[in-house]
Amino acid sequence: MRSLMIQILILISMLILQPAIASEQNNLETYIVHVEYPDNQVFSDQSQDLESWYNSFLPTTLAGSNEVPRMVYSYHNVFSGFAAKLTSEEVKEMEKKKGFLSARKQQVFSLHTTHSPNFLGLNQNMGFWNVSSYGKGVVIGVLDTGIRPDHPSFNDQGMPPPPAKWKGKCEFNFTACNNKLIGARYFRNGNGTPLDSDGHGTHTASTAAGNFVNGANVFGNANGTAVGIAPLAHLAIYKVCSSGCSESDILAGMDTAIADGVDVLSLSLGGPSKPFYNDNIALGAFSAMERGIFVSCSAGNSGPFNFSLSNEAPWILTVGASTIDRTLRATALLGNNEELEGESAFQPKDFPSTQLPIVYPGLNTSDSSAPFCTPRSLNNNNVTGKIVMCIVGGGTTGIAKGQAVKNAGGAAMILLNIERQGFTTSADAHVLPATNVNYEGRQKILAYINSTSTPTATIVFKGTIIGDKHAPMVATFSSRGPSRASPGILKPDIIGPGVNILAAWPVSIENNTSTTSTFNIVSGTSMSCPHLSGIAALLKSTHPNWSPAAIKSAIMTTADIVNLNNTSIEDERLLPASIFATGAGHVNPSKATDPGLIYDIEPQDYIPYLCGLSYTNRQISVISQRRVNCFAVSRILEGQLNYPSFCITLGSSNQTYTRKVTNVGEANASYTVDIVPPQGVNVMVKPLTLNFSQLNQKLKYEVTFSRSNASSISRNAQGYLLWKSSKHSVRSPIAMF
């Protein structure tokens, strides 16, 4: 009887300790530990005594527990020491043991990245990636077309187990999930599986949080180590799109993700602008935001036109797209020796340097589809062995045009931008030698073929070029503000990399069936959105107590407004970009982790704002999921919401708004304001100085906007106010329209 009682007590103690062990394992990291041999002790290379001595530094493991082995490597030749999985507290205990010399967290050595993390200032073993632990412990939920789970971008090497709060499921009918991919769900239109048959979802998921994959490239170009923005964050996939993305599936996906316990939601999808009470993504995002979940959404691909945004709600981060400084150079060399720079991911090494005849089907003015190289139009032209010029657009993709040219016997293709595309070019994985030249190049090549009866050209493939000083440049397709749903809130909020982004793809575009390490280069705000989702995960890992509004504020107030040439960020025309194209500017992750001040917004603060939009009580209740009486609420104008930016329509009367900032920098700090007013506008701030004496202290200031004497306000005028301390600069953009 006594023996039975002892066994029961042991079992109870183990059950009590298991949750503590699981929690502790979530905090384990690999340390490199150096030790010195005990006095007068000699060990042989394979000595069991040496192994026992190394193990004596490690915490005692409970017999029969499911704890993972702590020892990773025992070193015998390089030095005396070992690598082990430890918590910081255990390292402190280890320091007390005789023979201990030092311990440090392991580093991950840098190879070459592909390339947007480096462009964003994220480098291995240093800076923000180190500070944020690469997003460790944060769960990013991606609503998209599913995922290819066996792609190496989703391997779980170096990943901790899922957080204890995680409630998600893996709905593959085979073993697929791991410590990286911790959940995969599908919904009604998901074809019965979370598997990605489109590619979009695999690409966006790996952009946000893909693990390190060496040797990533497309046709040998953009070669390097592919990695997501938050490589140690967990991924949860919600397949809500197949041939399209139904609102019911999107809402079901968001509902499930909230219940599962995600920290960040990434949605690279959306529809036209609607009032928020009719916008199902905005509704789902509001509920997520109330639970502390950060929601990042694409701004849409309807640029460069104004009022073309999707996902405009102020509780959503609305993300536009910009270029990075990498180009996959393919130069069209004309018969008159003029060189026109273009791009292509397919760059054959054996394409002849000899000049070939040019044919332009668009010269046939009787066929409106001819400039776009439709199969029918090519049948009416002798293109065999020639370089065919095709206009971008016309309802067919560049790759489809190339296939039509190839089928008709063409030797190569030059894709010509239309005017609104300007200098935004695509590095597509073409099926034949090709290049996409900008609109300026188009005008030159058309002038050339009109100047001679025998125009010729060739394409010179120059490979991957780093260092485009125009980057970041706003992409032509990136949707622009002002916001239709709420014109008094500046949208988009931010721009990030979204042009020619290399990331995971479920199949080989090179028809290589011997590997799962397959990648593709794609453009869109769908690509910029997961970049910001990953950055939000890094910030969440660094500042776990920050609200979604605080994270957004940090991203916006630290954004860059100049390019690599140290001039104003440009649009697709190489002209200074409108504030309704850039929002606050281009994201700078390393600055965002230490913003100095933040503009926070509590969920209940949106109610007076929604009342101020003249929504009915019922309409607001649809958003807030609680009864609202606007007659009992102090309505506010849009400009009064504690947003990190200002978007003003100024009539004859002055407008005054209040902002409240929270000190998250140094406890004792003094900030003074610098003002760059929009043309034709006076901007007055009171007080001119904010003096903080402690962390998390909140102070208010007032901003008054008025017309300058005898001055007219220029269309889309912009400026900013900047709070500066000895260490921090906190910038709030000002837009007028």
List, in sequence order, every residue forming a beta bridge with 686; answer none if it has no partner. Answer: 702
Helix (H) or strand (E) holding 619: helix 617-624
Whether omega before 687 lies within 30 degrees of 0, making that bond cis, reads yes
Of the candidates 526, 541, 553, 732, the residue annotated as catalytic is 526
DSSP symbols for 418-438:
-GGGTT-------SSSEEEE-
Helix (H) or strand (E) holding 656: strand 655-663
**Residue 144 appears among annotated catalytic residues:** yes
* Distance, C-alpha 452 to centroid of its chain: 47
Pairing of β 729-736 and β 326-334: unpaired
CA distances from 223 to 138, 206, 328, 398 (A): 28, 16, 11, 23
Nearest to 527 by CA among 82, 208, 94: 208
- Outline where DSSP puts E strands in 36-123: 71-75, 81-86, 100-105
Q: What angle do CA 660, 321, 344 make, to 5 degrees?
A: 160
* Cβ neighbours of 151 (radius 10 Å): 24
**Residue 234 appears among annotated catalytic residues:** no
First-to-last C-alpha distance (Å) of the chain? 85
User: Exposed, middle or buried by CB within 10 Å (0-12, 13-18, 19+), for 373?
Assistant: buried
Phi, psi of 590 (to 5 degrees): -65, -35
**Residue 706 appears among annotated catalytic residues:** no
DSSP assigned state of 13: H
Tokens of 482: 């002002």
Of the candidates 200, 234, 531, 586, the residue annotated as catalytic is 200
Pairing of β 501-504 and β 519-522: antiparallel
Length of the chain measured in residues: 737
DSSP assigned state of 241: B
Of the candidates 116, 132, 144, 543, the residue annotated as catalytic is 144
DSSP symbols for 438-507:
-HHHHHHHHHHHTT-SS-EEEEEEEEEEE--TT-SBB-TTS---S-SS-TTS-SS-EEEE-SSEEEE-SS
Distance separating alpha carbons of residues 390 and 415, to the nearest angstrom? 5
DSSP symbols for 151-203:
SGGG--TTPPPPPTT----B--SSS---SSEEEEEE-TTSTTSSB-SSSHHHH
Residues labelled catalytic: 144, 200, 526
